[in-house]
Structure 1
């Protein structure tokens, strides 16, 4: 089992013929992703060659969907074209759109999220690494060779920390890892992923990675308290960030006591989430919990 992305997913890549699109499409194909086509109106009817496989290029998302049955899009287009790209995918009826592009104006993100929601399309991102169901499919830029299939579900604002936790817990493995992005406005939230992992029978434990700024982690803590029965382990990036300074992601800004790592840590711990002080300690908390559960089940 997995959430949002499986080996059955058929993926279109918007912006596939650009430099980043070509590079990461090649990596997605190597990971086993069923990439069925790319989209570029100026190169419609051609093919893009990836090692020994040729992938067709379509003039529009709708054309690609009608020809291939695609249900997922990964967006690599420049920021100025991202709003139109997401709207096009939603209008074509795709179920999931993964927006890798960074630097998208917030008002554009607000507009395409609202449009996608009306069409029933889930958006992950923008400014995110995408998501991976190890051994099945990889939609985005997450390295596919640093972990394996397993029992942990991971949702993270940070791309780099997504990779680090995947690597540190590689011996256990993951059901699905979702990088939701760190912009002020994102489509899929911590809460959306928590709910999906709760319903996934093959996810035994959930890892939640947040960062300073906003109140997404506090809201996630309340959701964990009220709706999640599976164990949750967390980490908040930014304990040493100076007050009032934007750090990294566009949403990571602290004002007074609001949005601090310490405030988020307290909220999560009040909901029963064990929170590590470093990524490595977070991984150790996961391993310790699984070991304890294993010992209890053997008694």
Structure 2
């Protein structure tokens, strides 16, 4: 299995990165995540496309009232709260960032009832939950931060009930990178704390090794990466023109993130996919 990324990434480093960059990322991604632009009319916003991605993930996870879901790498909680609202399911979110957990719980307090959605500090590499305690799990743009992805899937498989489902929205390699390309991208891996990217062809074996079955592999790169990065660039330009309020993020970090977007956009081997797997009955 050919894995590309920075194998020095640690949980502490990822947490520190989001403590520093979360305000900038939230502003760029309208508080949400990458966008899914398929079928959206011309002139749609980053917020529109991010909501569209949430809708796609909710459709794929297929959870209902009375079931329980684990959100791994929950960020500031918007997708989890929306899923709970439309499905009636109970949602538990975990994240490495204390700031994210605080903001997510504030959102849950404001928009959900009866502790239907709660968030806590936890590491997916050591999930603090009983075996077979969740019906569903998802990861939205957090899996690529995790160096030992096989162990991550084993941990999730342990807490899923038979018949449970896992849905991942993740950066992937559409085709493998050669060593020269990987070397050219080394600074990008380090800057974005990208620990591991797998070729799409490897996901079936990754799931099978932990007792899960790959049900669907949906490459949405063309409707995700380029339009998302273009929308973020437009937001940056609008902020500069309007001299909007200063973001609490170093100028160097903003410049580095812009350079990273340019490099991603010019590397067609890097894509974005939705991965759906299930635990056999």
For normalisation by structure 2, the TM-score amounts to 0.36
For normalisation by structure 1, the TM-score amounts to 0.34
Task: Say which structure, 1 or 2, has more relative contact order (CA 8 Å, 6+ apart).
Answer: 2
